[in-house]
Amino acid sequence: MSVSVIIPPVGKDDPAVTFEEIMGELKKACVVYGIDEEAIRSALSNGTVNTPVRVASGKKPQRGEDARFEYHFDTSLKHAPVVDDDGRVDYHNINAIQNTSAGEVLVTKVPPGEGQPGMDVFGNELPGLIGRDFPFKTGENVAVSDDGSQLVAAKSGAVQFQSGKVSVVEVLVIRGDVDFNVGNIDCRGSVRVGGDIKAGFIVKVDGNLE
């Protein structure tokens, strides 16, 4: 919101408008915030007439930050062999599985910010704008906490993250062999292997191995 005035030209019967007169009119109109005295003085000294001059401006309320998610697992896990501190590569361990237990917090939502309040030219506070909120993208075997702030594993198993959706898989399916393409498996759920477990590779499960 803003307020502008139009200063009339000086005529035979029309004396020049003064700074005090403009300030008095603003007071009569209950305009108390954001008055630009410099703009008023400049318009008067420059002889600006018959043109709107902005003499007061409100302050727009600001929008708060949008809600965001903090993931308690690696969302960018790469299917790559483990490299130890000495630079040796272990091709048997691929680090492709992230385990979780029932009740473990997987994601925490940071709520949207309330924003900053504004003010209109009459001195009335304008409430800040709340940032955008986003729902959890839930897959299988996960649950949202009662207060809506956390995403929790409902079952033990392997965490899967795809297109922002979080799931916990109780039965991990390996469609081929357990070999250098898959690596050793350590899963808190069950594992179903479609092929063979090649020599030198380990499959460790808390559930069933099929």
Joined together, the tokens standing for residue 56 give 């007061």
Joined together, the tokens standing for residue 24 give 């008095």
Question: What would the pLDDT profile of 130-174 be if each residue is shown by its tens digit?
Answer: 999 999 999 999 999 999 999 999 998 888 888 889 999 877 677
| Domain formed by 70-114+135-205, architecture | Beta Barrel (2.40)
> Is the Cβ–Cβ distance between 67 and 111 less than 8 Å?
yes
From-to residues of CATH 2.40.50.100 in the chain: 70-114+135-205
Tell me whether residue 179 is exposed, middle or buried, using C-beta atoms within 10 angstroms of its C-beta: 0 to 12, 13 to 18, 19 or more: middle
Number of H helices, E strands in the chain: 2, 17
Regions in the chain scoring below 70 on pLDDT: 12, 77-96, 172, 175-176, 178, 180-183, 185, 187, 189-190, 194, 196-198, 200, 202, 205, 207-210
Measured CA to CA, the distance from residue 91 to residue 35 in angstroms comes to 71
Amino acid sitting at position 163: S
pLDDT at 91: 44
pTM for the model: 0.68
> Is the Cβ–Cβ distance between 70 and 155 less than 8 Å?
no
Cβ neighbors of 45 (< 8 A, separation 6 or more) are: none
